[in-house]
Amino acid sequence: MIKVGKGDALIIVDVQIDFCPGGALPVPEGDKIVPVINEYIRKFKTAGALIVATRDWHPPNHISFRSQGGPWPPHCIQGTRGAEFHPDLRLPEGALIISKATDPLKEAYSGFEGTDLTDKLREAGAKRVFVGGLATEYCVKNTVLDAVERGFETFLLEDAVRGIDVKPGDVERAIKEMLERGAKKITLTEIK
């Protein structure tokens, strides 16, 4: 069991309407992790730990969009309904919101890339980070790998992630890579 406390941070990656069923770039069953994440939020909030939510916050002409030569349909455009957090996600007041991929010319899968997330975590005294969200093999993986690289003890919330699996096995390979690089897997039952 892991006891969560003030030196910990929960990082919820991109649980936005466009990444859930019915959205512009849906992750299959992406909405199914929302109740699990809400339970993590409850535990971390009770423990007085930092709660962070990242979000894609793209300008309408973002480089990742097919119209700009990128691989994806337009999604999570600043100020649109699709960019909003899933309506059932219970982010507490005072949760730190990190907007990423805001530069039209730069892709940013990681919550650390082009943001002040590292500084905010250090200011809060976080030593361990616990990462869940969407999608496993893209934004979750890159956020986890960047957290490890920056020296945080990093946990992948195995029961609070979903992937796209464009090529069958992508999700499995992403999890394997995260673990090989130093992240650890954990589930809700192991957190107190």
Catalytic residue flag (residue 139):
yes
Catalytic site residue from 31, 45, 76, 100: 100
Catalytic site residue from 14, 18, 31, 56: 14
Measured N-to-C along each axis, helices 141-149 and 170-180 cross at an angle, to the nearest 10 degrees, of 10
Beta strand spans in 103-190 (E):
128-134, 153-162, 184-186
CA 170, CA 127: separation in Å to the nearest integer?
29
Q: Which residues pair with 58 in a beta bridge?
A: 77
3-state SS, residue 154:
strand
C-alpha neighbours within 13 Å on the C-beta side of residue 79: 2
Whether the CA torsion 22, 25, 26, 30 is positive or negative: it is negative
Catalytic site residue from 18, 31, 139, 146: 139
Catalytic positions, written as ranges: 14, 100, 139
